[in-house]
Amino acid sequence: LYDALLRRDPFDFEARLGLGELYTKMRELEKAKGEFGKVPPSSRFWRPAQRGCALALAAQRRFRPAIEALESLLQEAPWDPQT
**C-alpha angle 46/62/66, rounded to 5°?**
30
Q: pLDDT tens digit string along 11-26? A: 999 999 999 999 999 9
pTM: 0.89
CB 22 within 8 A of CB 6: no
CB 51 within 8 A of CB 19: no
- Determine the pLDDT at residue 78: 86
Q: pLDDT tens digit string along 50-79? A: 999 999 999 999 999 999 999 999 999 988
29 pLDDT above the threshold of 90: yes
**29-37 and 46-59 helices, crossing angle to 10°:** 160
